[in-house]
Amino acid sequence: MSPLGVEAVPGTSPISGPPSAWDYFTDRAFRGLARVSVWLILLLLACILWSIGSKATSGIARLGLGFLTSTTWDVGRQQFGVLPQIWGTLYSSLLALLIGGFFGVAMAVFLTQDFLTPRLAQMFRVMVELLAAIPSVVYGLWGLFFVVPAMRPIAGWLYEKLGWIPFFGTTLSGPGLAPAAVVLAIMVLPTVAAVSQDALRLVPYKVKEAAYGMGATRWEAILRVLLPAASTGIFGALVLGFGRALGETMALAMLIGNSNQISLSLFSPANTLAALLALNFPEAGPQEVQVLMYAALVLLGITLVVNLMGEAIMAISSRGAVKR
Amino acid sequence: MNGQSVAAPPAVLPDTGLERSPFERRALRSLLLTVGIWVAAVMAGIPLVSVLYMLIVRGGARLGREVFVELPPAGFEMGGGFGNAIVGTVVMVGIAALISIPIGVLSAVFLAELGPDSQLARVARFAAKTLTGLPSILAGVFAYAAVVLTTGTYSAPAGGLALAVLMLPTVVLTAEEAIRAVPKITRDAAFGMGCTRSQVIWKVMLPTATPGILTGVMLAVARAAGETAPLLFTALFSSYWLFEGGRPHLMQPTASLAVLIYNFSGMPFENQIELAWTASLVLVLIVLFINVLSRLVGNRRA
């Protein structure tokens, strides 16, 4: 019907034309494939939960909740309990969070609040990323041959002078809680630093300028205006760092000493859930595997709750930022 | 660096009490805190320097051709190397990449382009975030339950699956971001030319997003190469070559650099401990190399 007499017949032009049947087919197939992969992710998560959960059921049926409150782990007598491991997991992670959280937040403030020339800031940023890139087993090796020997005289001195304080109640006779916590802190630091930097960047520049305009010094602006404004995000960063520490395995398996005891002392050996799994799984018989699956389920539960809390806090903090 | 960004008032003003007084308590406190944060930042760098120093000094001592081509030594043996562990790490990370990259990138396409606001996408994003926080040892427990108990043997695919579980969320989330970053104009132009959705994705969006996707993939690979916990009881360890007589023996315990470091670090033999340091140096060099590469690829886009 065109005035020039050129008929636009669908599918005949060598340059342009509507999609062919093959195009339609590949389009459909590709989109279907993409949808299937998304379902695969969900399936994977479900499989992880199911495989650990179902393998743990016989352990749960046999030991019940007493598993969580009993303190002995004796394969020979078939007695199993993970209270010392739960205690060690929480205690070591909390110590690591105290140290790593402080340095992580300090690093985030340092990198975002114009303390540095761009080039120096880049250098420190690379440093934090390198800290995150080094594999945990290498940190474990370093801890064994550097942190433990370096810490032993300090621990001995603290024990002698301040031994009446429960935290210094024992000497460091090799691996123990304190070196493990120090190494764990180094591994928590990059997570906390990265997430808190994002939180600090979300605070509008105007807020800081307003504080300066009122005559605040730089640190008054940081401590009384910026950090409170970013507090939700920083709290989220700390929770995520805590989650990271709870699940960390290798450095702890190498450094914490694997002793099933509950002690406040920083220098006594302890154990964690992840280290328990790492050390006992390779040689476990079928009976013990069921129990270890139960322990894995406990670890999964704890980390899941902490991480979901962290994500929820982060979601709240970024929603607040959008409103501002 | 004195902590005072407030501009001083012009000098001609009469004394109004608005001048900076550097010795006021507030100013001194600010200065003190600035010094404090510098000290903290430098202290945070000490572990890194110390780790790298010890790696170079203790690990570099044994670095030579033989550690790459020889097998791990037994108890009192001298010499030896970890050639099979390097091969094992490469093979298992390769298996993990083969599983996680196609699934990850295809899902990212769906999350970013095909149905970004669908219920499915929301649930999947949540699942991926949850997987990010999964302790690596639990990925090992999963692979143990799914593969080792089923096939009845420790094997390279079991280790590869465990690593894939850890790589997948990183690949999905970074690839989604990279695909989202493709300018809307580019995409609309392709649609305007009459492309089908898949053509737009294959011919325009994925090529544009490739640097970003590669960055995420390489970061995931670097992380997987250093993972130990998921391999401990899925791939276990082996003192023999993975390829014997020209063909791979995948369904048997497989060595990896990370597990070798862990095993040797606890041994009472000086030779093994030296090898653990050298293996650490090699592992860190591999990981850092991939990291730098990903940074270069990522920067080219900008």
Q: Kindly list the distances between the CA atom of residue B13 and the CA atoms of A216, A305, B10, B19, B20, in Å, as whole numbers in the listed order.
A: 21, 60, 6, 10, 13
Task: Provide the β-strand partners of residue A79.
Answer: A74
- Model pLDDT, residue B280: 95
Chain B residues with beta carbon closer than 8 angstroms to that of A16: 194
Where residue A324 falls among pLDDT bands split at 50, 70, 90? very low
Residues in contact with A215: Cβ distance below 8 Å, sequence separation at least 6, in sequence order: B6
- Model pLDDT, residue B3: 47
Query: Is the CB of B229 less than 8 angstroms away from the CB of A140?
Result: no
Q: What is the mean pLDDT of residues A47-71?
A: 87
The alpha-carbon gap from A50 to the nearest alpha carbon of chain B, in Å, equals 9
Look up the pTM and report it.
Answer: 0.88
Q: Least CA distance to A281: which residue of chain B?
A: B233
Q: Kindly list the distances between the CA atom of residue A308 and the CA atoms of A91, A224, B124, in Å, as whole numbers in the listed order.
A: 20, 29, 15
Task: Provide the β-strand partners of residue B244.
Answer: B247
Query: Is the CB of A24 less than 8 angstroms away from the CB of B196?
Result: yes
Q: Is A212 on the interface with B (CB under 8 A)?
A: yes
Helix pair angle (B270-301, B257-265), 10° resolution: 150
A103 closest CB neighbour out of B40, B130, B261: B40
B59 inside domain: no
Q: How is residue B5 annotated by DSSP?
A: -
- Model pLDDT, residue A154: 86
What is the H or E stretch that residue A295 is in? helix A286-323
B38 inside domain: no
Task: Provide the β-strand partners of residue A74.
Answer: A79
Chain B residues with beta carbon closer than 8 angstroms to that of A115: 1, 34, 37-38
Cα distance between residue B173 and residue B214, in whole Å: 12
Where residue A85 falls among pLDDT bands split at 50, 70, 90? very high
Query: Is the CB of A41 less than 8 angstroms away from the CB of B144?
Result: no
pLDDT digits (tens, 9 = 90+) for A97-136: 999 999 999 999 999 988 888 899 989 988 998 999 999 9
Q: How many other CB atoms sit within 10 Å of the CB of residue B79?
A: 11
Residue B247: φ, ψ to 5°: -130, 150
3-state SS class at B9: coil
Where residue A9 falls among pLDDT bands split at 50, 70, 90? low
Q: Least CA distance to A311: which residue of chain B?
A: B129
Chain B residues with beta carbon closer than 8 angstroms to that of A19: 194, 196
Residues in contact with B44: Cβ distance below 8 Å, sequence separation at least 6, in sequence order: A103, A106, A107, A127, A128, A131, A189
Domain count within chain B: 1
- Model pLDDT, residue A100: 95
B177 inside domain: yes
Q: What is the mean pLDDT of residues A153-159?
A: 84
- Model pLDDT, residue A269: 87
Q: Kindly list the distances between the CA atom of residue B116 and the CA atoms of A148, A162, B107, B125, B247, in Å, as whole numbers in the listed order.
A: 50, 59, 11, 10, 44
Query: Is the CB of A128 less than 8 angstroms away from the CB of B44?
Result: yes
Instruction: Tell me how far the alpha carbon of residue A30 is from its chain's centroid.
Output: 35
Residues in contact with A157: Cβ distance below 8 Å, sequence separation at least 6, in sequence order: none
Please determine, for residue A139, whether its predicted confidence score (pLDDT) is greater than 50. Answer: yes
Please determine, for residue A237, whether its predicted confidence score (pLDDT) is greater than 60. Answer: yes
Cα distance between residue A41 and residue A31, in whole Å: 16
Q: What is the ipTM of this complex?
A: 0.87
Q: Least CA distance to A40: which residue of chain B?
A: B103
Query: Is the CB of B146 less than 8 angstroms away from the CB of A308?
Result: no
Contact A267, A159 (CB under 8 A): yes
Q: Least CA distance to B149: which residue of chain A?
A: A286
Best to test chain A binding among B141, B231, B286, B289 (most A CBs inside 10 Å): B141
Q: Identify the domain containing residue B130 by its residue range.
A: 84-240+247-301
Cα distance between residue B150 and residue B158, in whole Å: 10
Query: Is the CB of B135 less than 8 angstroms away from the CB of A103?
Result: no
Q: What is the mean pLDDT of residues A30-52?
A: 94
Please determine, for residue A3, whether its predicted confidence score (pLDDT) is greater than 50. Answer: no
The alpha-carbon gap from B155 to the nearest alpha carbon of chain A, in Å, equals 13
A217 closest CB neighbour out of B4, B114, B199: B4
Chain B residues with beta carbon closer than 8 angstroms to that of A243: 133
CATH of the domain at B190: 1.10.3720.10
Return the structure tokens found at A37: 């992969």
B205 inside domain: yes
Chain A residues with beta carbon closer than 8 angstroms to that of B120: 35, 38-39
Ranges of chain B whose pLDDT falls below 50: 1-3, 301-302
pLDDT digits (tens, 9 = 90+) for B197-214: 888 999 999 999 999 999
pLDDT digits (tens, 9 = 90+) for A286-318: 888 888 999 999 999 999 999 999 888 888 887
Task: Provide the β-strand partners of residue B243.
Answer: B248
pLDDT digits (tens, 9 = 90+) for A175-192: 888 899 999 999 999 999
The alpha-carbon gap from A133 to the nearest alpha carbon of chain B, in Å, equals 7
3-state SS string for A50-90: HHHHHHHHHHHHHHCCHHHHCCCCECCCCECCCHHHHHHHH
Q: Is A52 on the interface with B (CB under 8 A)?
A: yes
Best to test chain A binding among B142, B147, B179 (most A CBs inside 10 Å): B142
Q: Is A11 on the interface with B (CB under 8 A)?
A: no
Q: What is the mean pLDDT of residues A253-277?
A: 87
The alpha-carbon gap from B140 to the nearest alpha carbon of chain A, in Å, equals 9
Best to test chain A binding among B29, B110, B205, B278 (most A CBs inside 10 Å): B110
- Model pLDDT, residue A67: 85
Q: Least CA distance to A247: which residue of chain B?
A: B135
Query: Is the CB of B135 less than 8 angstroms away from the CB of A274?
Result: yes
B22 inside domain: no
Residue A74: φ, ψ to 5°: -135, 105
* Alpha helices, H only, chain B: 25-54, 60, 65-69, 83-109, 119-132, 136-143, 149-151, 156-180, 184-192, 197-199, 206-226, 257-265, 270-301
How many CB pairs below 8 A link A and B?
Answer: 256
- Model pLDDT, residue B67: 86
- Model pLDDT, residue B6: 55
Please determine, for residue A12, whether its predicted confidence score (pLDDT) is greater than 60. Answer: no
Q: Kindly list the distances between the CA atom of residue B74 and the CA atoms of A20, B269, B272, in Å, as whole numbers in the listed order.
A: 65, 10, 9
- Model pLDDT, residue B141: 93
B202 inside domain: yes
Q: Least CA distance to A142: which residue of chain B?
A: B51
Chain B residues with beta carbon closer than 8 angstroms to that of A136: 226, 228-229
Parallel, antiparallel, or unpaired: how do β-strands B247-248 and B243-244 relate? antiparallel
Q: What is the mean pLDDT of residues A224-234?
A: 91
The fraction of chain A above a pLDDT of 70, given in percent, is 94
Best to test chain A binding among B52, B58, B107, B150 (most A CBs inside 10 Å): B107
Contact B72, B242 (CB under 8 A): no
Cα distance between residue B295 and residue B288, in whole Å: 10
B112 inside domain: yes
**Residues 122-161 in A contacting B (C-alpha not used; CB under 8 Å):** 124, 127-131, 133-142, 144-146
Best to test chain B binding among A250, A254, A293, A318 (most B CBs inside 10 Å): A250
Q: Kindly list the distances between the CA atom of residue A322 and the CA atoms of A139, A201, A316, A318, B125, in Å, as whole numbers in the listed order.
A: 39, 12, 10, 6, 20
Q: Is A209 on the interface with B (CB under 8 A)?
A: no
Please determine, for residue A60, whether its predicted confidence score (pLDDT) is greater than 60. Answer: yes
Cα distance between residue B46 and residue B36, in whole Å: 16
Query: Is the CB of A189 less than 8 angstroms away from the CB of B44?
Result: yes
Residue A13: φ, ψ to 5°: -70, 140
Query: Is the CB of B228 less than 8 angstroms away from the CB of A136?
Result: yes
Q: What is the mean pLDDT of residues A21-35?
A: 91
Q: How is residue B243 annotated by DSSP?
A: E
Query: Up-side HSE of residue B230: CA atoms within 13 Å toward CB?
Result: 32
Cα distance between residue B122 and residue A240, in whole Å: 21
The alpha-carbon gap from A222 to the nearest alpha carbon of chain B, in Å, equals 10
B120 inside domain: yes
A220 closest CB neighbour out of B26, B127, B280: B26
